[in-house]
Amino acid sequence: MQKEQENFDHLPGYKTRWLGLLFISISLVVISLDNTILNVAIPSISRSLGAGASELQWIIDAYILVFASLLLTMGALGDRYGRKRLLQFGLVMFGLGSLAAGLSTSTNMLIASRAFLGIGGAVIMPSTLSIISASFPQHERSQAFALWAAVFGLGIGIGPVVGGFLLKYYEWNAVFFVNLPVVVVALIGGAYTLAESKDEHAPKIDVPGVLLSIAGLVALVYGIIEAGSRGWTDPQILAAFGTSIVLLGVFTWWENRNPDAMLPLHFFKNMSFTGANVAMVMVMFGMFGSIFFLSQYFQSILGYTALEAGIRLLPLALTIMVVSASSARIAEKLGTKIIVALGIAVAGTGLLLMAQFYAVDTSYSTIAPTIIVLAAGMGLTFSPATNSIMQSIPVNKAGIGSAMNDTTRQLGGALGVAVLGTLMNKTYLEEITALSSLPEQYPIPQAQFDQLYGYISSSIQGAHLAVANAPALLPDAMKDTIIATANNAFVTGMTEAMTIGAIIMFGASLFALAVLPAQVQRPKEKEGDSSAKLSADGIAVQPASGD
């Protein structure tokens, strides 16, 4: 036992690894909360800053665009310069960005602050998983990754609750100020419990790879985001996707020939890495797509307040947390292939149940079980897929592996909102055309109706706001007709989109079953240092020249 203990003492931060995981989790909560907490504050921001629909979209998307585009670069920099150093630096940036966002007096200032937050988030996120890889021995990593996944899912799920609570008692900027004490705790705790780790044989900075990856991902993420509103065949969207294909194609060509590649492409030969990344895209596709619908469904259709809607989403967060925390033990018995494929299939079943049972008057007692099924599937997938990605690459490349895991999460989430949102919106617009005959039934000038119809066609929220803000213009019977038609159109579009989403998830489950190895295929030696010795747990050990 003593010998085993000595073998693990070379790991940076080994003695304080579990306490360190607590502060890594606190750092992660800041990031995962930010994914959903802002959504409930959008109406308040619109009223306070006078932001239009396009500006509101970019308050959310500026963060996503910058965050997703920089993850690979920041993961590589963490491997080179130190993961703890990058984590601490990212927390400081995130705190400053949160302060600037909370103090914003204009929409442009808020958008710029959100973009700055995206930089901070991209610095923090890869550091969390890579520090875990460096600090925990192999036999403990899967459980540590499971707890990481549980915290990530919990943060996303409780975002609407925290946001709704803050908005009930404070102004919209509270959703940013709440980050500040969390950042301070993570900074202080991490300073004392985390140890520095990095790739001691890091190659020189791959400048062309960095530039190509950032530019290519910016074009790709921008295209995905804007496709949801502009349409997938819009010339600007096609240009963005074409640009991303060219840039990422050149990036692939360059990385394949560069001895100092930022992202060694031979990682993708390992199906534990590639298959798990694809699985992560698909489960995040379902998660963000469904949350995008559920928050609107609860508030606009069922009439809950932001806080009430957030509370009703708590089963999502709690189920993900509980199942993710226990999924490592389940994966040890069933194998990575089975548990990931099963998780995606269960999540797809949750979407299918939502599609079958959701209506304009569905009771929460019917809704809650479907949320739990969806969340259980996500929880089953998150941890084993993350473990598969991180354990299939050398520990000294943990930063870039973590960044790849995080990038696929962001791309999957953006795709879920864009693709399912587009499908829903298409049906919504088709269904509300029934309202075009209203000027024939009620005494309303065509010009005024056209203006009203513009608001109705913009979104379900636009329809409700248009009716609420035009009491003198519209007869009560006409208001009721508009609301009933818009609500039915939204639910029809939502359930059709969820059906398509479920089919995609089932296909992804079959893909995981076909591609993923039964157990994680681990690397045989440390990347970039074939002479490094391997410890009993598979971790590359440097000669005893220092701790």
* CA atoms within a 13 Å half-sphere pointing along the CA-CB vector of 370: 24
Residue 524 has a pLDDT of 66
Q: What pLDDT shows up at residue 228?
A: 67
Measured N-to-C along each axis, helices 107-135 and 364-391 cross at an angle, to the nearest 10 degrees, of: 60
State the pLDDT at residue 482: 83
In angstroms, the Cα distances linking 22 to 26, 32, 148, 161, 402 are 6, 15, 9, 22, 18
Residue-level length of the chain: 547
The predicted structure's pLDDT at residue 95: 93
* Model confidence pLDDT, tens digit, residues 341-391: 999 999 999 999 999 999 999 999 999 999 999 989 988 888 888 888 887
Q: Looking at the 3D structure of the chain, how many domains does it have?
A: 1
Domain that holds residue 393: 14-203+261-429+490-541
Helix, coil or strand: residue 341:
helix
d(CA 18, CA 88): 18
10-residue mean pLDDT series, the chain (547 residues): 53 78 87 75 75 70 83 82 88 93 89 91 87 83 83 78 83 88 91 81 78 87 77 86 91 83 78 84 79 81 83 86 83 85 92 92 93 90 83 77 79 81 84 80 75 78 78 74 88 90 89 83 54 38 35
- Other beta carbons within 10 Å of 499: 16
Residues 404/54, Cβ–Cβ less than 8 Å: no
Q: Which residue has the tokens 């959100």?
A: 114
Cβ–Cβ under 8 Å, residues 324 and 153: yes
CATH of the domain at 388: 1.20.1250.20
Tell me if 98 is assigned to some domain: yes
Q: What is the pLDDT of residues 482-499, one digit of tens each?
A: 888 889 998 999 899 899
**Does residue 371 belong to any structural domain of this protein?**
yes
Distance between CA atoms of 529 and 385, rounded to whole angstroms?
27
H/E element holding 498? helix 476-515
pLDDT of residue 394: 78
The answer to the question of residue 442 being in a domain is no
* Alpha helices for 258-335 (secondary structure H): 271-296, 306-312, 314-334
- The answer to whether residue 424 sits within a structural domain is yes
Q: What is the pLDDT of residues 400-414, one digit of tens each?
A: 777 887 788 778 887
HEC secondary structure over 431-495: HHHHHHHHHHHCCCCHHHHHHHHHHHHHCHHHHHHHHHCCCCCCCHHHHHHHHHHHHHHHHHHHH
Task: Tell me the CA distances in angstroms from 404 to 39, 77, 81, 109, 380, one per residue in order.
Answer: 26, 13, 18, 30, 20
